[in-house]
Amino acid sequence: MKRASCEELSPASKRHCRPSDPSAPETIKRPHHAPLSTPPSPMPTHSQCSHVQDAHQNAVCAPLPEHSAARSIIDWIYDTPSICNRSGDGVSSPVDDAHVSEDIMSESSRRREKRQARSCSPTKKGSQYRNTVLKPANVLVDVIHDLPSDIEALLPDDLRDILDLRPPGTDKTTQDNTEFGGRETELADKISELVAVYRDECRKLATKPGSEPEYRTHLYGDVIEKLAEIPLWDQTLSSICSDKLWCTPLKPPAPTPLMSLLWPTLPAHTVPARPQETSVNLPTEISPDSNALRLQPDGRPFNLAFSRLPTGPSESSASASELDDSITTPKPDITVGISREAFSPPHAGLLEYWQAGKAVFSDPHATQGDMRFPFFFIEAKGLATNGNLIGAQNQAAGGGACAIRLLDSLAKQDPGTGTPRIIFSSTTEGAVHELWVHYWLADDNGVVKYHMTCLGAWRTTLDRHAREYVTALAIILRWGVDVFYPQIKQALDRVLEAAITAT
């Protein structure tokens, strides 16, 4: 196809052609084009920017000498319609566009980071939740490291042997070479089999990042479920691997907010007015029904009785509502308790009566099932499950406090003594496994504190660690069958006997 020369173009198109430099030698040519004799036209003005497209579509100008090629390219960049600032009928340089693009990307990145940072706050998994929610509710995590003697005495003997909690020189309870001290060899062989399977699975999962949910599946299917199915245990124990919500009345009550309390009476003009502000005379008497003025932390008065809260959503209000002062309702990943079928009809009827009257929530779940009186649960977290070990500990602390309050409600119905006082939990993040004991203590003022103390930590990819951890779980489940469950039945017997005697 033959190309048109500048002489064949319209007058409007000729203005945008870039002819050759007349001072350049005539021998510098390119094939099929002749050098132009007219001087270079000046750079088009802003108003000419809209006509450039027609010129580029209808013609190709003659080649330029090499020494003026750089300036020609710059002129072309400024003349290209795609770079024109049409909104302002101006021209923008690539450098300006780069700055604009960078600003847009930076602003978009800032908004995205802001949303991500705000979305992390409602998880209630960090130190802020532990300090601002758990501690005010008297739920204390890892505060007591050496168990009180009366609490340590409640631990299973075999568990104390594994944890080396016995004083030096004290003989262990084991009387043979088995892990269970007196238990039949068949049971010890079963534990060894579970240890090997779970250890190998943990080693496989350790090579796959983001496999935290699979740890929970194998921990339940390869260990907990198999232990709960051991003969004689299966008639007593009930286990589930489901994050079912527990009953909210079991949660420790949140402390009374400071702003709901009445401030002490202050004399008038206690706080001096700021410049150009009128001082406020504070009332000498304050009542809950009066239009009372309180003082803000910065010294300014405000009305608590008729103050209006902002209605529009904002980052601060969203965070405040999501990070409220209430403990997260427990929903453990794995729970082990006493089966409903393990109780006699009179005991089962009494438990149903208490459950309906909300006196004793023997089944802690909001939707009732087969389990009664949970004594062991697991909180399994990880990066893939939007959590970490601290988050698992926080959730276990709330669940442990609820389980202890459940036992305390049973103790209040029991005319005697001897109801269970401790329960156990485990927190995991990947191959790291921790074991905790939960209990309550009263301080010098009689305030009940719900404590959670770590008993040990293991990494189950290691053979010895996997063996000790699985063995500890088996000891706890056996304790639930041999000690915890009989204590529950004895408490129910005392309640029924007292009721019969009273009638």
Contacts of 331 (CB under 8 A, 6+ apart): 243, 244, 245, 246
Task: Say what the pTM is.
Answer: 0.64
Q: Give the torsion sign (CA, 191, 225, 348, 376).
A: positive
More confident residue, 31 or 247: 247
Question: Of the given ranges (71-85, 188-202, 239-253, 320-334), which has the lowest mean pLDDT?
Answer: 71-85
Q: HSE, CB side, 13 Å, CA atoms: give it for residue 500.
A: 8
Mean pLDDT for 474-483 is 97
Token pair recorded at residue 132? 């601002």
Inform me whether the pLDDT recorded for 470 exceeds 90: yes
Among the listed residues 73, 74, 16, 72, the one whose alpha carbon sits nearest the alpha carbon of residue 49: 16
The 3-state secondary structure of 159-204 reads HHHHHCCCCCCCCCCCCCCCCCCCCCHHHHHHHHHHHHHHHHHHHH
Q: Is 458 exposed, middle or buried (0-12, 13-18, 19+ CB in 10 A)?
A: buried
Inform me whether the pLDDT recorded for 369 exceeds 50: yes
**pLDDT attached to residue 503:** 82
Question: At 478, is the secondary structure helix, strand, or coil?
Answer: helix
Residue spans of the domains in the chain: they are 6-91, 127-251+331-502
Looking at this protein, which amino acid is placed at residue 493?
A: D
Confidence of residue 314 (pLDDT cuts 50, 70, 90): very low
d(CA 328, CA 134): 10
Question: Strands 432-442, 448-459: parallel, antiparallel or unpaired by DSSP?
Answer: antiparallel
d(CA 160, CA 103): 62
For the chain, the C-alpha Rg in angstroms (whole number) is: 39
Inform me whether the pLDDT recorded for 335 exceeds 80: yes
Inform me whether the pLDDT recorded for 124 exceeds 60: no
Among the listed residues 428, 445, 427, the one whose alpha carbon sits nearest the alpha carbon of residue 437: 427
- Residue 429: strand pairing partners: 381, 432
Q: Is 286 exposed, middle or buried (0-12, 13-18, 19+ CB in 10 A)?
A: middle
d(CA 300, CA 277): 10
Among the listed residues 151, 211, 162, 215, the one whose alpha carbon sits nearest the alpha carbon of residue 191: 162
**pLDDT attached to residue 340:** 96
Model confidence over 377-408: pLDDT tens digits?
Answer: 999 987 665 678 999 999 999 999 999 999 99
d(CA 95, CA 78): 12
Model confidence over 181-217: pLDDT tens digits?
Answer: 555 687 789 999 999 999 999 999 999 887 878 999 9
Confidence of residue 74 (pLDDT cuts 50, 70, 90): low
Is residue 493 within 8 Å of 415, Cβ to Cβ? no
d(CA 409, CA 172): 35
- What is the pLDDT of the chain when averaged over all its residues? 75
